[in-house]
Amino acid sequence: MSFSQKKTLLPLVVVLVLIAAMAMGACSHHAATNKTSKHPKKVQMDGTFSINRDHPEETVGDADYVFLARVEEKTGTAYKNTTQIETEEGTKEISTPYTNYKITVLENMKGELETDKPIPLQKAGGISKDGSSIVTFDDDVLPEVGQSYVFLAYA
């Protein structure tokens, strides 16, 4: 193959590679979409707060403890505020999930918590009792095991 033939063939090869990459991207996006549809839907909890949660000064000032901690394990979910509601299918029980964790405090920023051993922590939010949804406050996340977070906590 001559140099001019290679020069003409190069743009065609580049276009074919781009088309193949786009096709693989579309397939992986489709697979990710199918995968996420198997997960529980996200449901937002509503709450009334005495402070403005968008102002860090207020949230830190209101909390009893502020600390950096590593999540050691998720130990279960407690269900509180259970109530009965009527649906088209009949009576249904609903409740608010609270996820339980064991955490290790790495650094106290406000208040003094033990730093030499894991301690329990309960966070509002979690998997609904029927497993159909993940319930959290707006813009909130559930901590992941092995990750570190700054926590604001109440005694």
What are the angstrom distances between the C-alpha of 107 and each of 4, 28, 68, 71, 151? 66, 41, 5, 13, 11
| Residue 15, both tokens | 């276009």
Pick 143 or 45 by higher pLDDT. Answer: 143
CA atoms in the 13 A half-sphere facing the CB of 8: 5
Q: What is the pTM of this model?
A: 0.69
pLDDT in tens, 51-99: 877 888 898 999 999 999 999 999 999 999 999 999 898 998 889 999 9
Which pLDDT belongs to residue 44? 83
pLDDT in tens, 13-65: 443 333 433 333 333 333 333 334 466 788 887 777 788 778 888 989 999 99
Which pLDDT belongs to residue 39? 65
Task: Give, for 44, the enclosing helix (H) or strand (E).
Answer: strand 41-45
- Helix residue ranges per DSSP H, 38-116: 56-62
Which pLDDT belongs to residue 19? 41
Cβ-in-10-Å burial (0-12, 13-18, 19+) of 155 comes to: exposed
User: Is pLDDT above 80 for 11?
Assistant: no
